[in-house]
């Protein structure tokens, strides 16, 4: 299988199965192979996008703003292969776990903040980041992406996992996805859309760049 993975993301064998992996300390009990740790796509929307060969535009070494970092499952992998990685999480309990994940990662900077209020962390996150990765469980996911567009470099990328059930549990996911994508076009050019149902029910992966 031909893949275009970011530098620092490789495939390694874990229990006889080839899986995506990054180099770093274990965070959530994932299998390890020496310095390498398995990246579970069933627990990571970005991992699922890479498994499904979505063209994320990530090359490795980027400055990243990660929205919805939770306890650090995915953002710890991102920090393993990226440059400075700002991890925004609103809930105090998972933020404590995020702090632990950051303990061994000098490039990971946890921020206890609300992704819907980027003005609260604008003094920390300088503009011109290479990628905004968004995985937030809230209504108004397009609005969050639009509000955080200010941080993206002109040639940067938005990597968004749209959660249909967080927007409206009563509607068909396809209708929710269409509406969110339409809203995104107010500030982004959409480059790729891919359903993530192979790993995450009722989720859509979106790659976009700022207009």
Over the stretch 13-32, which tens digit does the pLDDT of each residue have? Answer: 999 999 999 999 999 999 99
Quote the pLDDT of residue 2: 46
Distance CA 199, CA 50 (A): 12
Mean pLDDT of the chain: 96
Quote the pLDDT of residue 7: 97
Quote the pLDDT of residue 173: 98
Q: Which domains does the chain have, with CATH numbers?
A: 40-210 (3.40.50.150)
- In terms of Cα–Cα distance, which of 17, 13, 37 is closest to 27? 37
Distance CA 21, CA 187 (A): 33
pLDDT level of residue 81 (50, 70, 90 thresholds): very high
Contact 110, 98 (CB under 8 A): yes
Quote the pLDDT of residue 1: 40
Query: Does pLDDT of 3 surpass 60?
Result: yes
Quote the pLDDT of residue 195: 98
Residues 34-44 have a mean pLDDT of 97
Quote the pLDDT of residue 161: 98
**For the chain, percent of residues with pLDDT exceeding 90:** 97
DSSP state of 148: G
Q: 114 by DSSP, 3-state: which?
A: coil
Query: Does pLDDT of 99 surpass 80?
Result: yes
Over the stretch 153-208, which tens digit does the pLDDT of each residue have? Answer: 999 999 999 999 999 999 999 999 999 999 999 999 999 999 999 999 999 999 99
pTM: 0.96
Distance CA 177, CA 183 (A): 10
Quote the pLDDT of residue 80: 98
Quote the pLDDT of residue 127: 81
């Amino acid at each position: 299988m031909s893949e275009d993975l970011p530098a620092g993301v490789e495939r390694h064998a874990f229990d006889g199965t080839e899986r995506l992996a990054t180099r770093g300390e274990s965070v959530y009990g994932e299998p390890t192979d020496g310095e390498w740790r398995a990246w579970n796509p069933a627990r990571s929307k970005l991992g699922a996008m890479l498994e499904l060969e979505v063209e994320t535009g990530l090359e490795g070494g980027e400055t990243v703003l990660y929205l919805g970092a939770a306890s650090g499952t995915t953002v710890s992998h991102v920090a393993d292969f990226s440059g400075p990685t700002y991890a925004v999480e609103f809930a105090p309990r998972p933020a404590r776990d995020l702090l632990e994940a950051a303990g061994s990662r000098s490039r990971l900077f946890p921020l206890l903040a609300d992704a819907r209020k980027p003005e609260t962390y604008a003094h920390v996150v300088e503009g011109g980041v290479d990628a905004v990765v968004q995985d937030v469980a809230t209504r108004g996911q397009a609005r969050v992406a639009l509000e955080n567009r200010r941080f993206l470099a002109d040639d940067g990328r938005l990597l968004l996992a749209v959660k249909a059930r967080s927007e409206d549990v009563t509607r068909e996911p396809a209708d929710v996805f269409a509406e969110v994508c339409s809203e995104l076009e107010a500030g982004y050019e959409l480059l790729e859309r891919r359903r993530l149902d192979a790993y995450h029910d009722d989720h859509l992966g979106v790659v976009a760049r700022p207009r």
